[in-house]
Amino acid sequence: MEFLKNFLNQNYKEAGALLMNDSYCIFEIIYNTMQQSHNTMSIKTLCAIAGVSRSGYYAWLNAAPARAQREQQDREDFEQILAYKMHGYSKGAKGIYIALLHMDPPVVINLKKIRHLMDKFNLSCPYRGPNPYRRMAKAIKTSSVADNLLQRELKHMVHGSSC
């Protein structure tokens, strides 16, 4: 119980407001504390110490099956997304999307979900960066204006005016 008080006092009371992910951590701590056999505190007291609402704790507790089902669905979708190695090289989100559409049968997964799963499971694709030699060649080029060998006299016009 002292661990809970110290944890909450050190990490969250100084920070001010709780973020949603932080409150999930607190709900997890409260749940684990309630599962201990030598616990004498009620959920009401633990929620008051933690600074979270009881209704939020119970909503988190009742949403556990939905979270588990969503996690299972994400894992199944991620198994399909592993087609990013299909042709021997990794692909980005759009490449994965196209690869899934060209499978037999076609698999339709939203591009946003593919990006979400790539972030969640730390799947990344190397991107082709700018060519340093081309950049250096552009930097060396001091002026693209050539000498006036033909002695042409060109009129400089202001934008928006005629002759």
No. of helices (H) and no. of strands (E), the chain = 8, 0
Contact by Cβ (8 Å): 74, 32: no
Contact by Cβ (8 Å): 83, 122: no
Q: Domain locations in the chain?
A: 2-62, 67-120
Write the single-letter amino acid at 51: G
pLDDT digits (tens, 9 = 90+) for 74-95: 999 998 887 667 677 778 888 8
Report the pLDDT value the prediction gives residue 14, as an integer from 0 to 100: 42
pLDDT above 70 covers a percentage of the chain that reads 80
pLDDT digits (tens, 9 = 90+) for 86-139: 677 778 888 889 888 888 888 899 999 999 999 998 888 888 888 998 888 888
Report the pLDDT value the prediction gives residue 9, as an integer from 0 to 100: 56
Question: Considering the entire predicted model, what is its pTM?
Answer: 0.56
Q: Tell me: pLDDT of 16 over 50.
A: no
